[in-house]
Amino acid sequence: MSRTIIFANGNLPNLEKARALIRPDDFILCADGGTRHALALGLTPDLIIGDMDSLPAAFNLKPETFIRFPTDKNETDLELAIDHALTLKPDQILILAALGGRMDQTLANITLLSNFQLATFDIRITDGVEEIFFCRDQAKVEGRSGDIVSLIPWQGEVNGIFTENLRWHLHHETLYPDKTRGISNEMTADVATISITSGLLLITHITGN
């Protein structure tokens, strides 16, 4: 399975858990300042995209490693990195260090995943501690019994939600965006499944120790 790893410029709370996510054949794509996380993990970026205003101290990489955009642009560096990752047609895209820091950036990063153009891609925000992705039809959460899973309706109500291997089972039910019923469910096995009939469901998965 081909994978692209995108390093954003947010927080990376646990380097060792992040390191465990990386495979030797992953394509390492950094969104500008996210380069610092790749370097901290001893990784050599295959590509760095952005306006280059947040790069770490000097390091040696080939000029063709950089795709530079003007500072005065309509997209964030992460959006540009996601757009490029799609051209690589990977089986999966994992975005690391997209959470924490500025709240506006965190919310914008999560919102990027709701783009309908990404509907056919397996794209997730993760850092080895917390995982975030959208369910448009059905989804699988892999972890351990006791892990926290929250189901959050996005942009409106979500209908026909059916869950398996979650402590509080939903049986073809509806969740509403102004209610908190889907927060803090628990996995009862190493794999939980969620399916919906309509809407867009944000899934967050917090791993145990």
CA distances from 156 to 57, 65, 133, 170 (A): 44, 41, 16, 18
Task: Please tell me what DSSP assigns to residue 15.
Answer: H
The Cα–Cα gap between 42 and 19 comes to 9
Which of 117-126, 151-160, 191-200 shows the lowest mean pLDDT across its residues? Answer: 117-126
Q: What is the mean pLDDT of residues 196-205?
A: 97
**Alpha carbon of residue 62 to chain centroid:** 28
Domain termination site, one of 86, 107, 128: 128
H-helix or E-strand spanning residue 138: strand 138-142
In this structure, is residue 27 part of a structural domain?
yes
CATH number of the domain to which 50 belongs: 3.40.50.10240
Does residue 186 sit in the same domain as residue 91?
A: no
Domain termination site, one of 82, 104, 128: 128
How much is the pLDDT for 59? 67
Q: Which residues pair with 131 in a beta bridge?
A: 126, 205
Compute φ and ψ for 167, nearest 5 degrees. Answer: -60, -45
| 28 or 115, which is more confident | 28
pLDDT of 151-195, one tens digit each?
999 999 999 999 999 999 999 999 999 999 999 999 999 999 999
pLDDT of 37-55, one tens digit each?
999 999 999 999 988 777 7
In this structure, is residue 156 part of a structural domain?
yes
* Overall number of domains in the chain: 2
Does residue 193 sit in the same domain as residue 152?
A: yes
How much is the pLDDT for 100? 81
How much is the pLDDT for 5? 97
In this structure, is residue 133 part of a structural domain?
no
The Cα–Cα gap between 160 and 141 comes to 18
For residue 142, name the pLDDT band (cuts at 50, 70, 90).
very high
For residue 126, name the pLDDT band (cuts at 50, 70, 90).
very high
Q: Token pair of 90, please?
A: 């990977």
Does residue 93 sit in the same domain as residue 192?
A: no
DSSP string, 37-104: HHHHTTPPPSEEEE--SS--S-----GGGEEE--SS-SS-HHHHHHHHHHHT--SEEEEES-BSS-HH
Q: How many residues does the chain have?
A: 209
Pairing of strands 122-126, 130-135: antiparallel
pTM of the predicted structure, to 2 decimals: 0.91
Domain termination site, one of 100, 128, 156: 128
Mean pLDDT computed over every residue of the chain: 91
How much is the pLDDT for 19? 93
Domain range for 118 is 3-128
